[in-house]
Structure 1
């Protein structure tokens, strides 16, 4: 299974796209669609710029590293919508947070409604509740439950 266009659209909508590097809500240098890893071996830094084509490439290639932890850790048979929501969640929070989450534990136990509700708990950055994360988690939860199909 791989992320669908709906899943990519979810990531694009909530990450936004910046062709100029900026510091996110917790001070991490970011570029493109929420990209924080090096670009062609160069760490993201003040003044860095990329093209739209590079931003699209980083997203399409980079999202694969966030599909992998979902595939590797989920034992529950997922729908496409559930997979998309989980990849978006993992793209935003990282593989380590996903792998150690109660969301994953509840999902693998077959408690899908409880797992869905766990999305909503991940609404903070730097210890502060952020409106954008509230919106994103609600959308991911709805997608996970098939409400945005």
Structure 2
């Protein structure tokens, strides 16, 4: 499917062109301030390095709003040095903005249909939390079945072999944001 454009060719006359009007946006997309706040609310600010795997059983060295310091648990690695004294909320927000470049790049490259801002923000939150293994959801978005996407979020609730309640709530919230533009990130 080609990238969504502001025009379409009819199936009755290959030389005709119809202007299509939509509230959905075409590329390039950029996350909104509301989207950043939504993600920060789910990630929760942690001023010191902690181990996180999404299920609370150890995992990867992380700080701020889910910024990955390195794979594997806290170990005294060189990459931890700059965070030994912790970080401020402002520094965590800067790291979050840098970290959002990757999911935004993925979505701008892989999504081929127009999106509302809130739909895009929900997808950025999802890909930020699950940077790989998300092809099924992105494929459904590209199919244009926008109404089926919120339920699809709930298929991605496993972490460490269990379904953490917090992850289920997050996926429901992402689905609600995608469907209704509801930026509520309360737990």
Give the conservation status (yes or no) of the 8 Å contact 2:63–2:69.
no
Q: Deviations over 1:64-93 (max 9, x none)?
A: 221110111001111101100000001111
Return the TM-score normalized by structure 2.
0.70
Give the conservation status (yes or no) of the 8 Å contact 1:11–1:88.
yes
User: 1:120 corresponds to which residue?
Assistant: 154
SS for the counterpart of 2:30 is coil
Q: Hey, what's the Cα distance between the residues in 2 that align with 1:52 and 1:142? A: 27
* Deviation at residue 115 of structure 1 after TM alignment: 2.2
Spell out structure 1 runs of 4+ moving beyond 6 A: none
Q: Which has the larger radius of gyration?
A: 2
Q: Deviations over 1:130-149 (max 9, x none)?
A: 11111110010011012416
Q: Deviations over 1:21-63 (max 9, x none)?
A: 001135111100011146xxx5348x73222221111012221
Q: Hey, what's the Cα distance between the residues in 1 that align with 2:103 and 2:111? A: 13
SS for the counterpart of 1:124 is coil
* Deviation at residue 119 of structure 1 after TM alignment: 0.5
Give the conservation status (yes or no) of the 8 Å contact 1:102–1:115.
no
Does 1:33 find its partner at 2:70? no
User: 1:63 corresponds to which residue?
Assistant: 100
Note the aligned Cα RMSD (angstroms): 1.8
Does 1:5 find its partner at 2:33? yes
Aligned residues: 142
Return the TM-score normalized by structure 1.
0.87
**Structure 2 residue runs without a partner (length 5+):** 1-28, 71-77
